[in-house]
Structures are given as C-alpha cells and as structure tokens.
Amino acid sequence: MTLSVLFVCLGNICRSPTAEVVFRDRVRAAGLEEHIVIDSAGTGDWHIGRAPDPRTQEAAASRGYDMSGLRARQVGVADFDKFDVLLAMDDANLADLQAMQPAGSNVVLKRFLDYAPQSGIREVPDPYYGGEDGFARVLNLVEEGAEGLLEALRERL
Ligand code: 4NP
C-alpha cells in the first residue's frame, strides 16, 4: 500500500518545499519511504523552475535539512488524480485548490495544520515579505504538522 501526499503553497519556494523535506525526513526515519510518496507545488506560476528561497534554504539547513535540489512547480489538475492527499498551507491555497478540484475527484483536500490541532494555528504564515523569524516559525509549524501527519497516515497504510 502506498499513499501519496502533495504539499501546496503559493510560490513553492518557501512553505511547501519546507514541508516536503521535513516530512521526507520523518518518513525516512520511520522506515516508510517505500510507502509514502511526497512532493510539493505552488498555486502560482512566478517561481516555476527556481530553487527554494535562499532564506528558506538557510533556515532549513540550520536544522539539517537540505533543500538545494528542489525546484518549484505549479499545481495542476492532474495532481488531483496523481495524489491521494493534497495539503494546503493556508486558507487561500485551500480555496484555490477547491476551485480547481475536478468534479468526481475524491482526493483528500485539507489544511496541513489540521494535523497539528494542538498548535491552535490553522495556517502556516507566508514568510516571503516578513522578517527572518518568519522562516524559523514556518519550520516550527511544519515540524509539528509533519509529526501529526505521519501518525495519521500510519493508520491508513
Ligand atoms: P511560499 O512563499 O508560498 O511559501 O512559497 C511565497 C513565495 C513567493 C511569493 C509569495 C509567497 N511571491 O509573491 O512571489
């Protein structure tokens, strides 16, 4: 049994690629890399083909995550077929995905932080135009969400 998960934000250069590398790390540590397929994408098209934002890469590297090989891509209608679970970083991303969802698609479409209810926070805040602490905050929230997501998916494998 394999489950596939796509993390989605706006640009695919800050939040969703962070979620991709953190979740991949947790999945590997759990020995489940053969069972869980992981990717990320953005609803916007501005950064297609680019590496993650240098500030995001730096924050991730400080906790041991290497994001240098990732390249941004845009989410497409085909992703609703290809993935079992689509996880939006914020409410705008969720609304954009809901608007794209083809009739009859039974993908699981949620906010990523639905898996971190104890955080009391629903959205991973966009760090792009903020200060440096925004990037550490993204990592904190993503690490919390990744733990909860792994536990939830374990039950479905
Ligand atoms: P992300 O951050 O959605 O977490 O990748 C952003 C990246 C770029 C922009 C906005 C958010 N932008 O407006 O270019």
pLDDT over 70, % of the chain: 100
Cα separation, 25 vs 43, in Å, equals: 24
Query: Phi and psi for 111 in degrees, rounded to 5?
Result: -80, 140
Catalytic residue among 39, 53, 79, 126: 126
Please say whether the beta carbons of 16 and 73 come within 8 A. no
Burial class (CB in 10 A: 0-12, 13-18, 19+), 156: exposed
When pLDDT is averaged across residues 24-46 and rounded to a whole number, the result is 98
Residue 117, SS3 per DSSP: helix
Cα separation, 136 vs 62, in Å, equals: 10
Q: Which of 10, 12, 67, 94 to mutate to test the pocket of ligand 1 (most atoms within 8 A of CB)?
A: 10
The atom number, within ligand 1, closest to the CA of 9 reads: 3
Q: Which CATH architecture best describes the domain 3-156?
A: 3-Layer(aba) Sandwich (3.40)
Written as one letter, the residue type at 147 is E
Give the model's confidence band at 147: pLDDT under 50 very low, under 70 low, under 90 confident, else very high: very high
Residue 157: its pLDDT value, please? 87
Residue nearest to atom 6 of ligand 1 (CA): 11
pLDDT one-digit tens code per residue, 64-106: 999 999 999 999 999 999 999 999 999 999 999 999 999 999 9
- Conformation bin of residue 38: beta by default, left when phi > 0, alpha when psi is -120 to 50: beta
Burial class (CB in 10 A: 0-12, 13-18, 19+), 78: exposed
9 is catalytic: yes
